[in-house]
Amino acid sequence: MNLASFSKGPEGSKLPVTLALLGALCLVSVVCLYPVILATISFLAQVSLFILNGIAALLAHRGDAGIPVAIEAQSEGLVFSVHVPTHDEPPHLVIATLAALRAQKNAPPYEVIVIDNNTRDPAVWLPVEHWCRENPLFRFLHREGVVGAKAGALNIALAQSRPDATHIVTVDADYQVQPDFLTVAAAEIAARRVDFVQFPQAYRCCDAAGAGIALELSDYFDRHARAANRADAMLLTGTLSVIRKEALLQVGGWSARTATEDAELGLRLGEAGFRGAFARQIVGRGLLPLTLNALHRQRFRWASGNMRTLLLWLSGRTSGAARPRLARQVLAATQLTAWVNFALPAALALLISAVQMAAQVPAGAQGAAIAFSTLLLVMASAAIPLIVAGNGSMAHVATAVSTRIALLPTAAAATVAGMFPGVQVFRVTPKAICGARGKADPPVAMIVASVCGVGLVAAGVAMGSLPLAGGGVLLLLPLLAAGLTARALAGYASVLRMREV
């Protein structure tokens, strides 16, 4: 028997053929079941977010564990270094912020450092520098080639802070604080005996058009931040933050690894054993994003940055410290996932399922049903907390819900973007009132979602599939909701122009 005849024998030929058939069968199974698998994963992930939202709402409505703080609380020995980072900000806006800081009454010793990074036009930052020269408590720093955007600028200010400073205070360039801000901050730090305190973000001129949008944004503090106080799990949100300088230095300062350097720092502080708290008193007000695109840009940064922070945390690459107790981990996760959703993989699964159903693949209908359920859950997670909270009038709640829904496609794209490695770009939210007309220029994510929605509605009607048609309608809702949000923003920008804020 020669070698050729042996290789053609019955036993020798069956094994390769069997392996090839098994491989082909596995490949076909994976292709057929891919939308089912993708839809199931996105559904389970969205269920997890829904549960986290529910936990935060339950604990928030039970009342936070924060203690009432008297303004007379002892605060001897506190020295504040207030840092105001700017990049290409309207000079009159920054000067108004600095004037409010100059008007502090009965405050502990403090200084103010304005750090302008990478603003190319001297006409933008020179007026601010001139103003600071005329006020002895204020120092102005202009730096070119700063790496790390806001985090890099804050690290420069940290290195320049007065040696006897006990706490670092961050204030965004558009926030005008109340005259008792630093006094209240000192009282909160002293009475709570914590290493950092976060005050809520609030907005000016929201008594009319912008109230609904402000309500959507304040949901984070009304729900997630209040709940975090119950387990000493508060993170940071960047502005109106008060941090013990020694703690900040001990964890390595600010980091630009994510687009939300504030939340990432709060996580590292907590893992290193430093305690924080959320103080519910409003001590300053800033400006809402002035256009729909600016609002989407802000939401993309928040969702992608927090998603990246969450993944770094889960992979143990934040501080390397021992994990805190379970309640603190859960409530930290509720804050990091406040803006994310898994609508993008669900929408993709729905599209593939539509193709499969057209090709009469049995798994297509199952994948469509699961994907449709996921999109329903995304909508429920967005709308229910705002409706149940019932803060504000029905008109304001309606605007808040429409704003949340309008931002879902951008948040969905940001959620997926945050999962991929690479440098996250920090984009400043524009605050120039002139030229802000609140136009409803939909971003790419919303346009893609709307096109897919039209296609799915048509496919669902043609094939008599409720999941396909219903999923298409859900994908079209953000575009419809954007109209109400854009009108509210246009009205808000008009109010600002009339009041010359």
Asked if residues 493 and 294 have their Cβ atoms less than 8 Å apart, the reply is: no
Per-residue pLDDT at 5:
46
Residue-wise pLDDT for 88-99, tens only, equals 999 999 999 999
Measured between alpha carbons, how far is 40 from 379 in angstroms, rounded to an integer? Answer: 17
**Average pLDDT across the chain, whole number:** 88
Per-residue pLDDT at 241:
98
Residue-wise pLDDT for 154-198, tens only, equals 999 999 999 999 999 999 999 999 999 999 999 999 988 899 999
Per-residue pLDDT at 494:
86
Residues of the chain under the 50 pLDDT cut: 1, 3-9, 30, 68, 320, 322, 438-439
Per-residue pLDDT at 1:
44
Per-residue pLDDT at 253:
97
- Which has the closest alpha carbon to 222: 57, 400, 336, 383? 57
Measured between alpha carbons, how far is 408 from 117 in angstroms, rounded to an integer? Answer: 32
Measured between alpha carbons, how far is 416 from 434 in angstroms, rounded to an integer? Answer: 34
Measured between alpha carbons, how far is 185 from 193 in angstroms, rounded to an integer? Answer: 12
Residue 232 burial (10 A CB sphere; 0-12, 13-18, 19+): middle
Per-residue pLDDT at 390:
77
Measured between alpha carbons, how far is 491 from 136 in angstroms, rounded to an integer? Answer: 39
Q: Which CATH class is domain 80-288?
A: alpha beta
Long-range contacts of 60-65 (CB under 8 A, 24+ apart): 60/222, 60/223, 60/224, 60/226, 60/227, 62/230, 63/226, 64/225, 64/226, 64/227, 64/228, 64/229, 64/230, 64/278, 64/280, 65/229, 65/230
Asked if residues 454 and 343 have their Cβ atoms less than 8 Å apart, the reply is: no
Per-residue pLDDT at 433:
66
Residue boundaries of the structural domains of the chain? 37-62+340-499, 80-288
Residue-wise pLDDT for 233-285, tens only, equals 999 998 999 999 999 999 999 999 999 999 999 999 998 999 999 999 999 99
Per-residue pLDDT at 441:
61
- Which has the closest alpha carbon to 74: 102, 103, 108? 108
